Structure 1
Amino acid sequence: MQLYNTLSAKERAALIDEAGKDRITISFYQYHNIKNPQIFRDKLFLEWNALDVLGRTYVSYEGINAQISVPSENFFALKEQLDNIVFLKGIRLNVAIEHDNKSFLKLKVKVRNKIVADGLNDETFDVTNKGVHLNAKEFNEMLANPDTVCVDMRNHYESEIGHFNGAITPDVDTFRDSLDIIEADLKNNKEDKNLLMYCTGGIRCEKASAYYKHKGFKNVFQLEGGIIEYTRQVKEKGIENKFIGKNFVFDHRRAEKITDDVIANCHQCGKPCDMHTNCANEACHLLFIQCDECSSTMENTCSTECQDIIQLSFEEQKELRKGKGNSNKIFKKGRSEKLKFKK
Structure 2
Amino acid sequence: MQLYNKLSAKEREKLIDEAGKRRLTISFYQYYNIEAPEIFRNELFVAWNELDVLGRTYVANEGINAQISVPAENFKAFKSHLDSISFLNGIRLNVAVEQDDKSFLKLTIKVKKKIVADGLDDDSFDVTNKGVHLGAKDFNDIIAKEDTVLVDMRNHYESEIGHFKGAITPDVDTFRESLDIIEEDLREHKDDKNLVMYCTGGIRCEKASAYFKHKGFKNVYQLEGGIIEYTRQVKDEKLDNKFMGKNFVFDNRKAERISDDVISVCHQCGEPCDTHVDCANDACHLLFIQCPSCAEKMENCCSEECMEVNRLPLEKQKELRRGKPMDGMNFSKGRSKHLKYKK
**TM, length-normalised to structure 1:** 0.99
Counterpart in 1 of 2:197?
A: 197
1:153-232 maps to which residues of 2 (within 5 A)? 153-232=153-232
Q: Which moved more, 1:325-334 or 1:250-259?
A: 325-334
Question: 2:198 and 2:220 mapped to 1: Cα distance?
Answer: 11
Q: In structure 2, what is the Cα distance between the partners aligned to 1:329 and 1:132?
A: 39
Describe the superposition over 1:90-148 as per-residue Cα deviations: whole angstroms up to 9, x where unpaired.
Answer: 00000000000000000000000000000000000000000000000000001001000
Following TM superposition, by how much is the alpha carbon of 1:324 offset from its aligned partner in structure 2, in angstroms?
Answer: 2.8
- Confirm or deny that 1:233 pairs with 2:247: no
User: Secondary structure of 1:82's partner?
Assistant: helix
Question: Aligned AA for 1:242?
Answer: K
The residue aligned with 1:282 is: 282
| Pairing of 1:75-224 with structure 2 (within 5 A) | 75-224=75-224
Aligned position for 2:21: 21
| Superposition map of 1:252-271 within 5 A | 252-271=252-271
Residue identity in the other structure for 2:320: L
Alpha-carbon distance in structure 1 between the residues aligned to 2:192 and 2:83:
42
Is the 2:23–2:69 Cα contact (8 Å) retained in structure 1? yes
Q: Distance in 2 between matches of 1:35 and 1:47?
A: 19
* Equivalent position SS for 1:57: strand
Q: Contact between 2:329 and 2:336, CA under 8 Å: does it hold in 1?
A: no
Partner of residue 39, structure 2: 39
- Give 3-state SS (helix, strand or coil) of 1:126's partner: coil
Corresponding residue of 1:65: 65
Amino acid at match of 2:10: K
Inter-partner Cα distance in structure 1 for 2:281 and 2:321: 10
Q: Distance in 2 between matches of 1:28 and 1:326?
A: 35
1:322 equivalent to 2:322? Answer: yes
Aligned length: 343
Report the CA distance between 1:325 and its aligned residue. Answer: 5.5
1:328 is displaced (CA, Å) by 6.5
User: Does the alignment pair 1:301 with 2:301?
Assistant: yes
Please identify runs of 4+ aligned residues in structure 1 that moved more than 6 A: none
Equivalent residue of 2:311, what SS?
Answer: coil
SS in 2 for 1:4: coil
Distance 1:172 1:323 in 2: 28
Contact 2:283 2:325 in 1 (8 A): no
Distance 2:300 2:323 in 1: 25
CA distance in 2, matches of 1:327, 1:317: 15
The structural deviation recorded for 1:331 is 1.9
Q: Using the alignment, how far apart are the partners of 1:324 and 1:337 within structure 2?
A: 18
TM-score by length of 2: 0.99
1:326 shift after superposition = 8.4
Name structure 1 gaps, 5 residues minimum: none
Distance apart, 1:6 and its partner CA = 1.5
Contact 2:157–2:334 (Cα < 8 Å) also in 1: yes
Q: Distance in 1 between matches of 2:327 and 2:217?
A: 36
Unaligned runs of 5+ residues in structure 2 are none
Distance in structure 2 (CA, Å) of the matches to 1:233 and 1:169: 23
Instruction: Work out the CA distance in 2 between the residues paired with 1:246 and 1:313.
Output: 36
**Closer/same/farther in 2, CA of residues 325 and 38 from structure 1, 3 Å limit:** farther
User: Quick one: distance in 2 between partners of 1:76 and 1:322?
Assistant: 46
Percent identity between matched residues is 72
